[in-house]
Amino acid sequence: MIKKLAVLSIIGLLFSNCTNTKIKKYEGIYTFGHEIRIFQDKDSEINYWLYSDDEKVEILNNYMKDLVEKEEGNYSEVELEIEGIDEGKATNGFAESNDKKMKVIKYKIIKKKRYSLFFFIIKFLSLIYLLFLYNE
C-alpha cells in the first residue's frame, strides 16, 4: 500500500510540472518597439511574450519593424487574433512578474492601430510640458 502511494505521488509530481499544451484563441493588441514586443490579451489583460518554433513571430516582428519605420515613430501596434499555447510565466528579457509566454501556432492581423491627430497633439503638449519642467 505504501509503495502504491509513493508511486502515485511521484507520478503526480511529474505531471504537475508539465506545461499546458491546449491551443486556444486569443485576441488583443501586439505592441512592438524599442525593447518591447508584447501581446496583451483583451479578455484577461495578461501580457504575453510571443515565440514560435518556426518563423511566424519573426515574420510578424519584421512587419511591425516596417510599420515603425513607415510611421517614423518609436512604437507600433496592431490588433491580432492568435491561436497559441499559454506556456506559463515568462522569465526571459524584461518580463514583468505577471507576464506569460505564448507559443504562436497561427496569427492573423485584424487591423493596424491608428492614432488620431488629437493623440499626437496631446503627446506633443506633454513633451513640451516635460521640457518646461526639466528646464526649471
Q: What is the mean pLDDT of residues 69-96?
A: 83
Q: Exposed, middle or buried, 68 (CB in 10 Å: 0-12/13-18/19+)? A: middle
pLDDT for position 79: 94
pLDDT for position 26: 97
| 121 against 45, higher pLDDT | 45
Q: What is the mean pLDDT of residues 77-102?
A: 83
Adjacent-strand bridge partners of 106: 83
How far is Cα 101 from Cα 57, in angstroms, rounded to an integer? Answer: 13
Instruction: Kindly report the pTM of this predicted structure.
Output: 0.65
Please report, in angstroms and rounded to a whole number, the separation of the first and last CA atoms in the chain. 77
pLDDT for position 69: 86
Give the pLDDT confidence of 20-60 residue by residue, as tens digits: 579 999 999 999 988 888 999 999 999 999 999 999 999 99
30 contacts 39 by C-beta, under 8 angstroms: yes
The alpha carbon of residue 28 and the mean position of all alpha carbons in its chain are separated, in whole angstroms, by 9
